[in-house]
A and B are shown apart, each in its own frame.
Chain A
């Protein structure tokens, strides 16, 4: 600390050498347009930048809270917890990574499922928590997803899943790969009963999650500018040694290539999905 800094009364002195661009808490900065945003307003706007409509990543629980009606709501598969069956260890133990992720997010694993309603329409909704080990799919994610499907089948109500995931969870090795088959099989069963599944892909939806449940929607929806694909852009660039085309693997690119049905702004998600779901379930317009 220089003599000059020492002169400044401690209550207005900022610690550390690097100045924070935006003070913690009250203000946030849009990573896309750099606009400084009032956090309360941003939250009211579902973390979509009011200036440039950039969709920031949001947590699973907030996502479901924003999507579902306030009541009734009941969580599905909350009692499921991950275990480290392989005693997996890389630079850190898987067990420690789990504890760390659980502490950081307050969740047991990377998928949250709920039975509830949207504008009075009963349905099941699930969302991936990307902050939990990159939203990676292991055994608990797979099992919770299947239980959501089962709940939808039992109650004959639609299922909407918001994905945000880097893919399969490496620490559960082949068990993770098999979750792709497991979740897809459950969706096949649900599809045969004529129950709608809407997959909403948010930023990012990659790897094993993209190559299973996320692409199997009766209707595939994407949020604007989300990164969606199988192989990561860096891996592709290293393999083919070519510059990737502009907007590669973004929602708009997928729409153009016929992979998703529509792109929906987060702020219109409830209205648009209910509209679609009433039609798929043969109900009168809401």
Chain B
């Protein structure tokens, strides 16, 4: 099995392997096989299109967690310039699971904050698999309040399995740290654009997820609990994660239908990791468009709209 491809992508992997083989043969043989290669490439693209046109929620959640998926720093590097990372919550520590700092977007100073996953084992451990501890949320809050003071718009990139279920995180009050961010972000006097770029896992995600716009990449997910967690609690078995993913409606498309997400940013064919540069460009355009709209709204109106937006979340009947 080709590890660059997920299980449901294996037919594509097989085709790609065949193409590689032909190329290898082609380079040291007389026969012209470029036509055959082109034919297979078309076939591979069509197959990819067909597989990706009907992904279920569980498959999407695997894509959202793909080991090659672009992470926050990959986007920061491609979307912004002059990034200076700022560290620490000024009280306890710096949490590498959340990165943040000042940068420029098309020349304009902004604040960017996001959860950061690690690529290799060492970095994964250092970043704690992007599961923030309280100092991470508190660093984020510090940077957001700084952005407000210096009139910088805020961009957040959400990509976390969730808050860290650890003894130390509880000791240092992770509930309060998350709650405080929700409280502060609701009233922050600067535009906030939040984008889910991978996994939007529960409270850990929401802690940098309150703002004026919520964007989701096409194959990202956002949920109140992981499909595995939901399955364990409601089905009393870890095996129903796929079913849980479906019924919770964790995909960008479904959440857009439900009115919880403002915009879905399309990913390149096969997912963001197949063309990181193109994905970053698309996301950048979306961020610029949204910022332009938000810029045109007076600050008091912006805050009132943000508040009303939060208040309309929910479904209930009035007897």
Contacts and interface: CB of A to CB of B under 8 A. Distances in A.
Interface stretch (A9-17, A86-94, A119-127): A86-94
Contacts of B225: 168, 170
A257 B250 contact: no
Contact of B235 (A91, A235, A249): A91
A239 interface: yes
Nearest to A186: B311
A248 B311 CA distance: 35
A83 B174 CA distance: 31
A62 B313 CA distance: 30
A257 B169 CA distance: 11
Interface residues of A, number: 65
A interface, by DSSP: helix, strand, loop or mixed? helix
Contacts of A176: 224
A79 B319 CA distance: 5
A215 B175 contact: yes
Contact of A175 (B173, B209, B210, B260): B260
B215 interface: no
Interface residues of B, number: 53
A188 B171 contact: no
B268 interface: no
A146 B311 contact: yes
Contacts of A236: 165-167, 170
A258 interface: yes
B314 interface: yes
B217 interface: no
Contact of B186 (A91, A185, A207, A230): A185
Interface in A197-245: 207-208, 210-216, 228-232, 235-236, 239-240, 242, 244-245
A29 interface: no
A181 interface: yes
Interface string B116-143: 0000000000000000000000000000
Given A89-B247, A139-B315, A170-B234, A230 B175 contact: yes
Given A168-B224, A177-B224, A239-B165, A259 B313 contact: no
Interface in A256-282: 257-259
Nearest to A257: B171
Contacts of B307: 185, 189
A170 B183 contact: no
A213 B183 CA distance: 9
A69 interface: no
Contact of A242 (B167, B203, B247): B167
Of A211, A214, A244, most B-chain CB atoms within 10 Å: A211
A172 B315 contact: yes
B247 A90 contact: yes
A257 B174 contact: no
B223 interface: yes
B300 interface: no
Interface in B148-180: 163, 165-167, 169-176, 178-180
B223 A173 contact: yes
Contacts of A140: 314, 316
A186 B306 CA distance: 12
B230 A231 contact: no
B12 interface: no
B182 interface: yes
Interface in A86-139: 86, 88-91, 138-139
A82 interface: yes
A174 interface: yes
B174 A174 contact: no
B287 interface: no
B186 A184 contact: yes
Contacts of A172: 224, 315
Contacts of B311: 146, 182, 185-186
A262 B2 CA distance: 57
Interface string A161-193: 000000010101111111111101111110110
A213 B176 CA distance: 9
Contacts of A207: 203
B310 interface: yes
A192 B187 contact: yes
Given A88-B247, A174-B250, A178-B260, A80 B318 contact: yes
17 contacts: A86-B247, A88-B247, A177-B224, A178-B310, A178-B314, A182-B310, A182-B311, A192-B187, A208-B224, A211-B163, A211-B179, A215-B173, A215-B175, A229-B170, A230-B175, A231-B174, A240-B165
6 closest Cβ pairs, A-B complex: A139-B314, A231-B165, A185-B186, A184-B182, A90-B234, A85-B315
Given A173-B250, A212-B182, A231-B170, 13 more contacts: A81-B319, A143-B316, A168-B225, A170-B224, A174-B222, A187-B183, A188-B184, A208-B203, A212-B178, A212-B179, A214-B175, A236-B165, A248-B167
